[in-house]
Structure 1
Amino acid sequence: MTATKTPLHAWQVVAATSVPVVGIAAVLVLFPPAPFSRLLPTFPALTPGVTAVGSGDRSITPNRSAVFDLEITNHGGGPVSIDRLETTIRAIDAPASTPGSPCTIRDFVVIAPSSTLGIVVHPGTTRLSALDVPRAQWPTVGMADSADNQGGCSGATLELDFVLSVEAS
């Protein structure tokens, strides 16, 4: 008898987090970073479902990225395989942005935007770290290397998409 995997879903988990950013002016004035707030997810109604939520491990500044040890919850009755995780920046709200110091999505970058995970998640809640997923495969967001003044990104809020490829195990 041959076992086959039945695809369940590949869906988006949309989350937003406050992303404090240090702006660099000509005189190298740095704005103090504030801690990340908890991600506030919005999930599609799925049964069975898998959800992911997380917090950045630190604030984003030029030359300093934030890593997300996602908390993954399997709401179903059996184990699921998560083969891929893709992370994108969907939108940005940058209240400090001005015409002279703009802040756009192009000021940020997802490092390793796509990861092949190959993990099994049993019913309940766990983290990427508890599943022994190498830190290099966790979603990571940083600032793009730019000669432009990025002070308009101070206190920006990013909306992130996490797309999981999930199959029944």
Structure 2
Amino acid sequence: MQNTSGYFRTAVKVLLVGLLVMFVSAGSIFAASQGGNQGNKTGVTIQVNPATRTVDQGGTASYAASLTSANGFSGNVTPTVSGLPANTTAAFTPASVTLTSGKSATVTLTVVTQATTPDGKADLTIATAAGTSQASGVVVQLVVQASKKMFTISGNLGAPLSPGATVPLNLYITNPNNKSLALSSLSVSVASVTRTQAAVAAGLSCTPADYAVTNYSGQYPLTVPVGTSTLQSLKLSPDLWPRIGMLDTNVNQDGCKGATLQLAYSGTGEGN
């Protein structure tokens, strides 16, 4: 918006933040023998369902493992898991079972990821320790998705700036995903200032140091629905919006007349 009599015209700079990552999960169990069964090295076979779990970072995945006695095996069986990605923990419930000849028992493997768990696909090997020998394992997959989502932020000042004036900035948030976002860590800064040709020719200065930004002061997270929303449409008081102010200094600020501000925006969004 050009304001030839004032000190400011808006220039919107859109900053792409966040990342939407999606992996397609596989659908089969890889095992030593046909049908998803473990070989009977120790007289125990394993069947696991499901073969693949997909979770967002910070989510939990569960697998049901059926342990069956084979070849007359009887004794205590302790399930194990290997191949977990970094920043991930796992536990079986129960931690061990006692099998008698020809009988089965089911244990549940629960895998807990963190926000810092690397996204991507991991092959987990579920095996058993029965007696003193380690059984060959069944491979299942854990697919971890980045929980950050794609969105854009822009802004618009509703009035021109002049020395000593402060104007609220109504942010526009576009959410192209198929579900709402939990938005946090909103930040606005003055990236650069473009002076008019007349100010440049006259050698009149105007820099980001002539301006001050007060960032959003409301509560987090902000729930942003699908589509384009504004802070106003989210029913947030203008008192909470970011504010752009022009400082009133002792030096000549005529170089800021008609100047264009390039604003930079950032934020963090997670899928609900």
User: What TM-score results when the alignment is normalised by the length of structure 1?
Assistant: 0.70
> Does 2:12 match 1:32?
no
* Residue of structure 1 equivalent to 2:182: 81
* Residue of structure 2 equivalent to 1:50: 151
Higher relative contact order structure (alpha carbons within 8 Å, sequence separation ≥ 6)? 1
Deviations 1:87-120 (A, max 9, x none): 111111113146763111111111x235454210
Q: State which drifts further: 95-104 or 74-83.
A: 95-104
Give the Å deviation of 1:38: 6.2
| Structure 1 residue matching 2:221: 3-state secondary structure | strand
| Structure 2 residue matching 1:55: 3-state secondary structure | strand
Q: Indicate if the aligned counterparts of 1:97 and 1:153 stay in contact, CA closer than 8 A.
A: no
* Residue of structure 1 equivalent to 2:229: 126
Of all paired residues, the percent bearing the same amino acid is: 26
Q: Indicate if the aligned counterparts of 1:97 and 1:103 stay in contact, CA closer than 8 A.
A: no
The one-letter code matched in structure 2 to 1:113 is N
Deviations 1:32-84 (A, max 9, x none): 22884562536469544211223211011112223221121110011111122
User: Gaps (5+ residues) in structure 2?
Assistant: 21-148
Following the alignment from structure 1 to structure 2, what is the Cα–Cα distance between the partners of residues 166 and 43? 11
The aligned runs of 1:10-159 (5 Å cut-off) are 20=3, 32-33=5-6, 36-37=9-10, 39=12, 41=14, 43=16, 46-47=19-20, 48-95=149-196, 96-97=199-200, 101-110=204-213, 112-115=214-217, 116-159=219-262
Following the alignment from structure 2 to structure 1, what is the Cα–Cα distance between the partners of residues 203 and 6? 22
Following the alignment from structure 1 to structure 2, what is the Cα–Cα distance between the partners of residues 164 and 133? 17
Following the alignment from structure 1 to structure 2, what is the Cα–Cα distance between the partners of residues 54 and 141? 11
Give the Å deviation of 1:139: 2.2
Larger radius of gyration: 2
Following the alignment from structure 2 to structure 1, what is the Cα–Cα distance between the partners of residues 18 and 231? 23
User: What TM-score results when the alignment is normalised by the length of structure 2?
Assistant: 0.46
Change (3 A) 1:141 1:52: same
Superposition CA RMSD, Å:
2.7
Following the alignment from structure 1 to structure 2, what is the Cα–Cα distance between the partners of residues 105 and 158? 8
Misfit runs of 4+, over 6 Å: none
Following the alignment from structure 2 to structure 1, what is the Cα–Cα distance between the partners of residues 11 and 201? 27
Following the alignment from structure 1 to structure 2, what is the Cα–Cα distance between the partners of residues 133 and 80? 16
Following the alignment from structure 1 to structure 2, what is the Cα–Cα distance between the partners of residues 35 and 161? 16
| Structure 2 residue matching 1:148: 3-state secondary structure | coil
Following the alignment from structure 1 to structure 2, what is the Cα–Cα distance between the partners of residues 167 and 80? 6
Q: Indicate if the aligned counterparts of 2:210 and 2:246 stay in contact, CA closer than 8 A.
A: yes
Please identify which structure carries the higher strand content. 2
Q: State which drifts further: 51-60 or 35-44.
A: 35-44
Q: Indicate if the aligned counterparts of 1:84 and 1:164 stay in contact, CA closer than 8 A.
A: yes
What is the count of residue pairs matched by the alignment?
A: 141
| Structure 2 residue matching 1:58: 3-state secondary structure | coil
